[in-house]
Amino acid sequence: MNLKQLAEEYYSSFTERKVWKMLKYVQCPDWLEPLCKSAEELIVPQFEKRRWNPERGAVLLSGERYIMYRSEAVAVALREQLSQVMGQGAGIVMYQFGKACGRSDAKYYFNKLQVDDSELKHAMGTVACAMNGFAVVEVLPESKPVLNNDYLMVYQHHNSYEAESNLDKGNKSDQAICFMNAGYSAGWCSEASGMNLEAKEITCRATGDSQCRFVLAPPNRIHKRVEEIRKIYPRN
């Protein structure tokens, strides 16, 4: 069963139960909404059970320990410090860190919530991005997350914390800078699909573009996919 067929099945069940609600944390094509709604129902409660325990120096969400950083500290200060040491390699480090976090989070939630379906696993990632404070994900209609070499995800991250933090500081870049956003989505979707996937940000608000837009595909197809999507969505 492919993604669209599964989504239609979810839609039928929602219609029959008359519990259809609008999405709060994801933007996507209409046919994908029921699947993303199910993802919201799984992920959001995990973030609503919060417990602050400063006596132990701990922040707990559903019993799992989290750490908190100001977004500017990561998106601006950390990247600047890494750039002084590593030059252009700073972006690679931040991307790989984001990818490791995405993989780890995905594995944790899939195991905890006992989710086996690949399509639902993908949808959960869009909600996790919002709940973790990365951005609000908009899945674009060109997406085709099939589990083979034709895999493709095209999406936008609205209010990306990396772009927003730099814009708030008055920083404008000549290159896309949402490295951790790209890495996190690549890591999550790699775990969801069982494939190694890479993400590339093709437009970024920090460079003056209107959207932070990404392409996600297998490594041997990513450059071709980027060129294809750039023709559909030229820079603006």
Q: In what order do the strands lie in the sheet with 64-66?
A: 50-53, 58-61, 64-66
Instruction: For CA atoms 177, 120, 3, 147, give the dihedral sign.
Output: positive
Q: Cα dist. 116→87, 109, 121, 232 in Å?
A: 41, 11, 7, 33
CATH class as words, domain 71-232: alpha beta
pLDDT by residue, tens only, the chain of 236 residues = 455 454 445 444 433 333 334 678 999 988 889 999 999 999 999 999 999 988 999 999 999 999 989 999 999 999 999 999 999 899 999 999 999 999 999 999 999 999 999 999 999 999 999 999 999 999 999 999 999 999 999 999 999 999 999 999 998 898 999 999 999 999 999 999 999 999 999 999 999 999 999 999 999 999 999 999 999 988 76
Strands, E assignment, 109-197: 136-139, 153-158
Residue in this structure with the two tokens 């008055």, named with its chain if needed: 170
And the tokens for 156?
């936008």
And the tokens for 224?
């071709």
Give the start-to-end residue ranges of the domains of the chain.
Answer: 71-232
Chain mean position to CA 52:
26
> What kind and span of H or E run contains 98?
helix 89-113
User: What's the predicted TM-score (pTM) here?
Assistant: 0.88
